[in-house]
Amino acid sequence: MARKKTLGLFGSDIVHLGLLIILAGGIISGLAVFRENLSLSEGQILPILKADFKIRLDKFETEYYPNGSVRDWKSTLTVIENGKPHLSKIVEVNHPLSFKGFVFYQSSCGWNWTNPSLEIWVKKRNDESFLNKIELNLGEKAGLEGENIQISVRHFIPDFVINEKNEITTRSLQPNNPAAFIEG
């Protein structure tokens, strides 16, 4: 006849107590932590809730494999404390920026179609040497250097298409076929 040792009598109780401790830890952690999604454009500075510093996105870049698939996304973030840059770090997937108990992860990326920035190159047909670059945001006006012409971007469409009703629209929010209505 086999007999359990004294610790064997409490084995299942110890396992259940361990599971309860893990569950309680998850609940406490979930209630004690706050999460917020921040959307930043390059050069934008945002104050951090419940903190005495701000964060700035200096640069965002996508690296590709030779076959064209995405290899990595990198965001260069700078912590601004008391109005001055304090710390800069390149944030990648699984490589967050930690500062004063706050952790900044890169969770997604996309395009900012609410305020697109356009680079327009202007050429003259009758003057091959004339080439002028203008950078504009939607709704801005800019003068063409050496000319008495003002150019403005009135509308931007990331994936231009004319639908079956002959309306100009976009197929997606990806910049697959970008188009701009420019007025000059």
What are the pLDDT digits (tens) for 120-159? 888 888 888 888 888 888 888 888 777 888 888 888 888 8
CB atoms within 10 A of CB 95: 12
CA 151 from centroid of its chain's CA atoms: 29
Specify the pTM.
Answer: 0.54
Pairing of β 150-157 and β 160-162: unpaired
Pairing of β 97-99 and β 102-104: antiparallel
Q: How confident is the model at residue 96 (pLDDT cuts 50, 70, 90)?
A: very high
Q: Which of 80, 75, 110 is nearest to 95 (CA)?
A: 75
Q: How confident is the model at residue 49 (pLDDT cuts 50, 70, 90)?
A: confident
What are the pLDDT digits (tens) for 16-46? 888 889 988 878 777 766 677 788 888 889 9
- CA–CA dist 45, 51 (Å, integer): 14
Per-residue pLDDT averaged across 71-88, rounded?
92
> Cα angle at 157 between 153 and 72, to 5 degrees?
110
Q: Are 169 and 157 in contact (CB under 8 A)?
A: yes
The backbone torsions φ and ψ at residue 40, rounded to the nearest 5 degrees and listed phi first, read: -125, 145
Q: Are 138 and 98 in contact (CB under 8 A)?
A: no
- CA–CA dist 54, 64 (Å, integer): 30
**Domain segments of the chain as ranges:** 45-104, 117-183
What are the pLDDT digits (tens) for 101-112? 888 988 777 776
Q: Tell me if residue 12 falls in helix, strand or coil.
A: helix
Element (H, E) at 49: none
